[in-house]
Amino acid sequence: MTAPDTISLRMLQCLQTAKEQLSDAARDRIAGYVRSQQTDEGSFVDRNGSADLYYTLFGCMLAFVLDIPLRLPSLTAYLHRFDVERLDFVHYAACLRCRLMTDPAFTPTVRAPETFPLLPHHDRQSPYTRFLWLSLLEDTGGVPEREQFLPAAEPSYDSVTNLAAALLVRGQLDGYLPPPLTEQLRRRQHEWGGFPASPGLFPADLLSTATALFALHSCQVAPLYDPYPFITAHWQENGGFTATLDSEACDVEYTFYGLLALGTIKN
């Protein structure tokens, strides 16, 4: 049975849940940080302070949830500067999503991954590539063909993000019934709450933790350990979130992951 909503809507619902569970002061602190990352032209900056299309996607999604006004005329002009036919697949997806959020009349035809010279992991069949492609098709009203997205035999997954992506793709196409992969993902969690990128890797990071928690939450499966202390340990005084516990550098991407992770926790 096909899931009743899109991956993008599931993410926005988690972000909204996180916002509703925060105090007014906490929401204001995060919103203040996100606003500080917006440029005069409406884009958002990367960790080095430069305007970046990929980070602009995360900034736009956070702005939508946190009720931060976007500078639409200048942001639209910024987005139109990119020739989408020359972008790699990740930046192509980011540009299309930003334009979909800022222009309701925009209805692109999504290119298949094999038409791009550069793909994540250089692999059309990687879980992350299939996740991006499926979610883009959903957002643009395309109809995914099941056999294009699900492998004939389930491979082993080295990284948490690949395993989470595979679970989300399968859930969107077959319904979110907990498969054996769910237990495999749960066992990747450290007892202090975080998920490392790969088995045996130290330390755990916020991206892997957020994607794992989001996949488990979509499957209505609880993690083995309480992730709340681990997530909030990445939350800085300026309102942003860091990638790892040994970093003090915040950005809008990891602030997105911080809120996404918080939105999977039931208070």
114 C-beta neighbours (distance < 10 Å), count: 11
Q: What is the pLDDT of residues 35-64, one digit of tens each?
A: 999 999 999 999 999 999 999 999 999 999
**Top-confidence residue, 139 or 151:** 139
Residues 6 or more apart whose CB falls under 8 angstroms from that of 206 comprise 194, 231, 234, 241, 242, 243, 244, 254, 257, 258, 261
Both structure tokens of 231:
């997530």
Residue 152 confidence (pLDDT) above 70: no
Contact in structure between 255 and 30 (CB atoms under 8 Å): yes
pLDDT at 267: 59
Q: What is the pLDDT of residues 163-184, one digit of tens each?
A: 999 999 999 998 888 778 899 9
How far CA 247 is from CA of 213, 234, 235, in Å, comes to 21, 9, 11
**Which phi and psi angles does 62 have, rounded to 5°?**
-65, -40
DSSP H or E run through 147 = helix 146-149
In percent, the amount of the chain with pLDDT more than 70 equals: 97
Region 105-134: mean pLDDT is 85
Q: Which amino acid is at 12?
A: L
Distance CA 120, CA 114 (A): 11
Residue 1 confidence (pLDDT) above 70: no
Q: For 58-67, 72-81, 139-148, 177-186, which range has the lowest pLDDT when averaged over its residues?
A: 139-148
Over the Cα atoms of the chain, what is R_g?
Answer: 18
Distance CA 185, CA 129 (A): 19
Could you tell me the pLDDT band of residue 121, with boundaries at 50, 70 and 90?
Answer: low
Q: What is the pLDDT of residues 193-252, one digit of tens each?
A: 999 998 877 789 999 999 999 999 999 999 999 999 999 999 999 999 999 999 989 999
Region 92-112: mean pLDDT is 91
Q: Which amino acid is at 215?
A: A
pLDDT at 83: 94
Region 94-112: mean pLDDT is 91
Q: What is the mean pLDDT of the chain?
A: 91
Contact in structure between 6 and 139 (CB atoms under 8 Å): yes
Distance CA 160, CA 208 (A): 6
pLDDT at 4: 47
Q: Which residues pair with 44 in a beta bridge?
A: 38
Distance CA 33, CA 37 (A): 7
Region 119-136: mean pLDDT is 85
Residue 242: strand, helix, or coil = strand
Could you tell me the pLDDT band of residue 3, with boundaries at 50, 70 and 90?
Answer: very low
How far CA 124 is from CA of 89, 91, 149, 240, 265, in Å, comes to 10, 16, 10, 33, 33
**Top-confidence residue, 123 or 89:** 89
pLDDT at 151: 77
